[in-house]
Every structure is written in structure tokens, then in C-alpha cells.
Amino acid sequence: MITTYDLTKRFGDMLAVDSLDLSVGAGEIFGFLGPNGAGKTTSINMMIGILTPTGGRVELAEIDVAKDPTKAKSITGYVPDQPNLYEKLTAWEFLMFVANLHKVEKGRAEKKAKNLLEMFELIDRADEQLGGYSHGMRQKVVIASALLHEPKILFMDEPTVGLDPASARLVKDILRELASEGVTVFMSTHILEIAERMCDRVGIIQKGRLLAVGNMDDLRQAAAAKGAMKHPEASTLEDLFIELTGGSDYAEVSRYLEG
């Protein structure tokens, strides 16, 4: 469903994404992990067609994003890392705006939007302007807008940041249900617990390069191959992440601080 071929992005002299080759199947939940500035958001932006790659290409459901970005965008939903919204629109107006841009039939869009607003417990405040919403509430509106047109592929950049525990749980439930219906979910996250429990596979990126990709067993093997871990078979994703991204120095400091 998502395939990248040698995807590369340079900003001036800085190599943000270096020859990324990835393939994510239909109905799969894929976790994209990496330290700050690793190239996660840049990769997602290229995949959804809002950033032109320096090299390589992206296919979404066999649609070349560079050649037909409009068609590619019509089957994707996107949740950005920052829920910046039109502050003078109400949540209801924003959802109707998004429905218009996706050409969702009027009656269906209204039912779907009401359903989503109810689900996120925003229905009673749907007529308020978004300028008065908290970060978490905006995040919910953005997630609702990404689901409104029933996308085949959902890209989510840190989707649970700012959400209260109940809403974060709700998002997880939604993602599982969508995946069970064949929707592909590609999400970046810093919360390794979410990635470990929810994702079918994860990819770890650092300095623009994909270090490892696969399920937990694959990652353990990759860490074992580096030879630094004593018991890779018992390691958590956090251990593997720190090992693979070279964060062991920080782990030492952390252990020292914890006494």
C-alpha cells in the first residue's frame, strides 16, 4: 500500500532522509521511530505529497505521488505533528470544510462528522471557534478530519501527543479497528509503549537512514547482530531503540541518575 524507493531529501547541505526504502502492506499498522530530528516528519511529508523529494519516489496504492498527487491525496488522511487549525472556524465548520475538499456527499459527511465529534466528546462544543480549544481538543479535531473521508491510508505524526489517557486509548482503538478493515496506518511516535503494543512492524530511523525495520523479533535479531546486548531476546522496544540508535551513553547516564 505504501512503497518508497530510494527516497531522499536534502535541505541545502543537510541530508534529512537518506535513500529510504520501505514497504507497508494493506491493513498494517506501521510505527516509525527515531530520535528528534531523525527525519520522521520529513519522510511522512514526502509520502503524502506535501514535500518534493530530492530523489527517489513514493507510491501509495500504486499511485505515483509525484505524478498524480491529487489522486494520491484523495485516498490518504493526515494528522500533522502540530494541530494548527483555522482559529476563527468552529470545529463543525472545519470538518465541513474538509468534507468539501474531499467531495464527500453532504448528508453522509454530516452524519460522519457528528459521529466523530460524539466519539471524541466534542459534539457539545462543536459550535465553538477553534481558537478557544485546548491542544488536545484540537488534536481530536484533526484526527476526526483525517477520518472523515474514510481514507485507505492514514498518516499520523505523533498522534497521541496532547491527548488525555482516555482519548489516547480511543485513538488506539480506532486505529486497530481501521486496520482490521484494511486501512493502512503509518504513524510516527516517541511513545515506544504504543509502538510496541500496537504496531505490526516498526522502522527505526536515525540521521535520515533506516537502521532497522520489522517486528519485535526482527529488531531483536538486528540488535543481537550488533552484539552489544547481553540478552536481546528479553529486551523491550525501548532497549532495542536505545541500542540501535546509539543511545547507550544516555542510558548509562539515566541509570546513574536513578542510582
Partner 1 sequence: MDRTLLILGVELRQAFRAGSSADGKSSRAKRIARNIMGYAVLLTIAVFMGRGAYNIAANLSEELAACPNVVRTVWVNLMSGLSLGIFIMFFMTGVSVVYQTLYESGDLKFLLSTPTPAGSVVAAKLIVALVRNLMAIVPFMYPVWVGYGAGSGAPVSFYIMSLLAIVFAALLFTAVVAIFVMLVMRIIPTQKMRQIIMIGSLAVGFAFVVVFQVFNAKMARSNGLDTAQLAQAAQGWGLGNTWYLPHVWVVKTALLTTSEFGFSFAESLLPLAVTAVGAFASVIGLSTKAFLAGWSAAREVEKGRKKPNGRRRRRALLRIGRKVAGDDLAEGVSPALSDTMIRRHVSQGWGIFAKDLTILMRQPVIWYSVLVALVASGFYIYNMSYGMRSGDVGSMVGLMKDIVLFVLVMMSTISSSQMAGMCISMDGESLWAIRSMPIEPGTYYNSKMALAMLPGSAVFTVLALAMTFVSDLPQYPLYVSLPVGYAAISMLGSIGLMFDAIKPNFTIRMSGAGGPKRDASKALISMGVSLVGTFLLGVAFAFKGYYSSFSILAGIDRQVATCISVIAFTAIVVAGHVVARSIAIGNIKRMLRGESN
Q: How far does the chain reach from its first CA to its final CA, in angstroms?
A: 47
Q: How far apart are alpha carbons 7 and 17 in whole angstroms?
A: 7
The edge-to-edge listing of strands for the beta sheet with 209-214 is 76-79, 153-157, 184-188, 29-33, 201-206, 209-214
Query: And the C-alpha cell for 203?
Result: 522502522
Q: Which of 2, 7, 58, 126 binds partner 1 (CB under 8 A)?
A: 126
Binding window for partner 1 (CB under 8 A); candidates: 100-108, 199-207, 208-216, 222-230: 100-108
The DSSP letter of residue 129 is B
Binding status of residue 137 toward partner 1 by CB under 8 A: no
CB neighbour class for 215 (10 Å; exposed up to 12, middle 13-18, buried from 19): exposed
Picking from 231, 246, 195, the residue whose alpha carbon sits closest to that of residue 216 is 195
Which residue from 17, 20, 27 is spatially nearest to 4, judged by alpha carbons? 20
Contact between 103 and partner 1 per CB under 8 A: yes
Q: Which is nearer to partner 1, 7 or 116 (CB)?
A: 116
**Interaction of residue 119 with partner 1, rule CB under 8 A:** yes
- Distance in Å, CB of 166 to partner 1, minimum: 8
Under the binding rule (CB under 8 A), the answer on residue 207 touching partner 1 is no
- Residue of 93, 214, 246, 247 interacting with partner 1 (CB under 8 A): 93
Q: Which of residues 168-197 bind partner 1 (CB under 8 A)?
A: 170, 173-174, 177-178, 181, 183
Single out the residue of 26, 50, 228, 251 in contact with partner 1 (rule: CB under 8 A).
50
Interface with partner 1 (CB under 8 A), residue from 38, 40, 43, 112: 112
State the Cα–Cα distance between residues 160 and 167, nearest whole angstrom: 8
Instruction: Report the site for partner 1 in 69-88 (rule: CB under 8 A).
Output: 69-74, 76, 78, 80, 82, 84-88
Q: Is 26 in the site for partner 1 (CB under 8 A)?
A: no
Interface of this chain with partner 1, residues 214 to 253, rule: CB under 8 A: none
